Chain A
Amino acid sequence: MLTFDKMQIVQGDFRLSADFAIDPGAHVAIMGPSGAGKSTFLAAVAGFVVPQSGRLLWRGRDLLPLPPGQRPVSMIFQDNNLFPHLSVYENAALGMRPSGRLRGGEPDRVRAALADVGLAGMETRKPATLSGGQQSRAALARMLVQDRPLVLLDEPFAALGPALRVEMIDLVKGLCTAQGATLLMVTHDPGDAARLDGALCVVDGGQVSAPAPAAAILANPPAALRAYLG
């Protein structure tokens, strides 16, 4: 369980509170108007934003005292997901060890992860030589290598075309299912949420709503989400 226990984030006039739990292995889309705090919410889970009060628990363990690198979290950002001066392999290897120096069977696991996302044979390429979709795949390979139980995605595919986005969401869903990871994905596209076909949290009015089945919410959106979807 990922438990938000009366967690409240305060940044100047901005306030956001969450008080619910997410089941292990759930796939949760997070939607809401821009500026409502979707990314801030995710950043609090990742450890980039410190909540003012409340607790954040993973399997009963308080995450808030931990720095980002020590949380059971792997994260994919909107952009700058790959270090441009490192090869695809080196980027993915950083998921294994922050030093990038691997030993034993670790290089094989990195190569296997790259094959899993469809990047076999591209290990030595630099990110700049990859297409947008391939860059996303490389970041997903690193996520696989990290093998953390919580996967956070902050609109990672926003720059991709519709068909490619569907492909990447299917891929990420498959990978998380295979690893049994809990997935939280911020998106502004109801199509993404529908494709993920899991739960949906709505961020609006300083509140993150408890997750509910995405299909049901999208079929009959609450007022705030309806205004946003238009």
Chain B
Amino acid sequence: MADRAQPLNLSVWAGGLAAALILTLTLGTIAAVLARAEGSFALGAGDLAAIRFTLVQAVLSGVLSCVLAVPVARALARRRFVGRAVLVTLMGAPFILPVIVAVLGLVMVFGRAGWVSGALGLFGLPPVHIYGLHGVVLAHVFFNLPLATRLILQGWLSIPAERFRLAATLGMTPRDVARHLEWPMLRATLPGAFMVIFLICTTSFAVALAVGGGPRATTVELAIYQAFRFDFDLSRAAFLALIQLAISGAAALLALWVAVPQATGAGLDRTVERWDAARPGLRVLDGALIILAALFLLLPLTAIALRGLPEVLSLPAGVWQAAWRSLCVAGLSVIVTVVLALSMTLAITGLRNRALAKGIEVTGYLAVAASPLVIGTGLFLIVFPFANPADLALPVTALVNAVMALPFALRALVPAAQEVEARFGPLADSLGMTGWHRLRRLTLPRLRRPLGFAAALAGALSMGDLGVIALFADPDAGTLPLLLYRLMGSYRMDQAAGVALVLLGLSLLVFWLFDRGGRVDADL
């Protein structure tokens, strides 16, 4: 393309500045931690165990999520039933579900005093244990089975309908269809699905904090927290931070390399007509699988609702103050995410220097591999000489949450902005629309939906975040997730359920408000 009339020169600067900020926060904070570290970097037995546990639980979570997702996705792909669309949508929800809420729900269902143990007790069987490796993996499967199901379902629906028709005219059995159509698709889809889940699980903190811990179930992230919070051992925290970065960085590169499938959610509302799967036995099997998957998703939330609802109105005032603080953190985080993501997006699409644009984009995605706890620790060390970190706990949490939400915001915004440029760029150029006018009359109106979605994600993720806030918040001036964690720690389960319900409701409300704001009146 020709010399564009320098579209949005200012935004290129803003985007560069945003990228520099991200680099400072992700890599600069590690430097800050390293600078303060003293002594030698030697891996203790505990650190090695943390590395091993991080990898083992991530592999197990990824494998189990994918293996279980295959039959569920197949059932969803070939069956039509009332509520299917709702179920598929629901499977996108765990992403915005506060981790600590889900963990509480799982404890109520699968814990020592939970429903499952209660049922086992009726038959004289011992209760199940949720703490330790199983609990961590169970929680990760709870979050990632739906994600894997959606990714694999997408793969199923991407097989052209004609192929299944051809299979029917050739008289193929389900086994033949699996061999000729489904297995090749799975071979292409599964590695990506596994890698993305593996990556997510390597940075797990809140799950490990709540149901892990101890020498046998500590992730590297949790070890960083313990090194910082309990031992104030900065060199160990910094060293673990580098290890964490290496693990998730390697996982991110691998995920990029195997080409992660995109769960766009578009087009998941149809099914594939299957002539080979009409046998009654397969119908029953698929039905049972769908019900089991739905129960696995819904039971923990139901448990919270049943136990929490009577508590909500009698919650102490401190809960509502924490809720207000959480909303403030989420609001601030949304603003920072949107400003960062938008300026980076404009720079990425507007820059003629493609290498520089790619650099800004990659920087934005860097946060996937960065550890929020390391960023938090680094910021703590930077502000420590000037202010009491506890006073800055909330803004720092909002900032770190924004950086964590940035990759998802960019995933939504960059392709949309590129499409706007491809479709309407020439017309805007020929009309001489540049700078602010182009932004106001073309780019912003066209990006309303992805902007709303990005803001919704940032808000919900920040509402539910239990990471940095645990590092250095004053326990009595924390956010709702922190309060919930402390209630769980003191086994006040009724009140915890009430708080969890409030947190869940607020997270969904925040998500809905922003996402809806982007959709209302948005012309396609």
| Contact surface of A with B, Cβ cutoff 8 Å | 46-50, 67-70, 73-75, 77, 80-81, 83-86, 94-95, 98-100, 126, 128, 146
Contacts and interface: CB of A to CB of B under 8 A. Distances in A.
A47 B431 CA distance: 12
B216 interface: no
Interface string B1-20: 11111000000000000000
B427 A50 contact: no
A67 B433 CA distance: 11
Nearest to A128: B523
A120 B417 CA distance: 33
B441 A68 contact: no
Given A77-B427, A94-B441, A84 B4 contact: no
A83 B430 contact: no
Contacts of A83: 424, 427, 441-442, 445-446
Contact of A80 (B2, B424, B433): B424
Contact of B523 (A48, A75, A85): A85
Interface string B312-350: 000000000000000000000000000000000000000
A84 B524 contact: yes
B431 A46 contact: no
Given A50-B3, A67-B4, A84-B523, A73 B441 contact: no
Contacts of B522: 85
B437 A80 contact: no
A85 B447 CA distance: 11
A86 B441 contact: yes
11 contacts: A48-B429, A67-B2, A74-B430, A83-B424, A83-B441, A85-B522, A85-B523, A86-B445, A94-B433, A98-B438, A146-B431
B2 A69 contact: no
Contacts of A77: 426-427
B3 A67 contact: yes
B317 to A, nearest CB: 45
B426 A48 contact: yes
A69 B423 contact: no
A144 to B, nearest CB: 14
B432 A69 contact: yes
B418 interface: no
Nearest to B437: A99
A39 B181 CA distance: 42
A49 B2 contact: yes
Interface residues of B, number: 24
B434 A98 contact: yes
Given A80-B423, A128-B523, A69 B442 contact: no
Given A83-B424, A94-B431, 20 more contacts: A48-B426, A50-B2, A67-B5, A67-B429, A67-B432, A69-B430, A69-B434, A70-B432, A73-B430, A74-B430, A75-B427, A77-B427, A80-B423, A80-B424, A80-B426, A80-B427, A81-B427, A83-B446, A84-B524, A98-B437
Interface string B409-434: 00000000000000110110111111
The 10 closest A-B pairs by CB, nearest first: A69-B432, A67-B5, A85-B445, A68-B429, A98-B433, A99-B437, A98-B432, A85-B523, A50-B2, A75-B430
Given A68-B432, A98-B432, A98-B433, A48 B427 contact: no
A100 B445 CA distance: 14
A48 B445 CA distance: 24
B523 A69 contact: no
Given A48-B429, A80-B427, A83-B442, A69 B3 contact: no
A49 B442 CA distance: 22
Nearest to B522: A85
A85 B446 contact: yes
B308 to A, nearest CB: 42
A100 to B, nearest CB: 6
B115 to A, nearest CB: 50
A81 B320 CA distance: 52
A29 B364 CA distance: 48
A100 B441 contact: yes
A84 to B, nearest CB: 5
- Residue from the set B1, B429, B441 with the largest chain A CB neighbour count within 10 Å: B441
- Residue from the set A69, A73, A126 with the largest chain B CB neighbour count within 10 Å: A69
B431 A98 contact: yes
Contacts of A68: 2, 5, 426, 429-430, 432
A26 B427 CA distance: 24
A51 B431 CA distance: 21
Contacts of A86: 441, 445
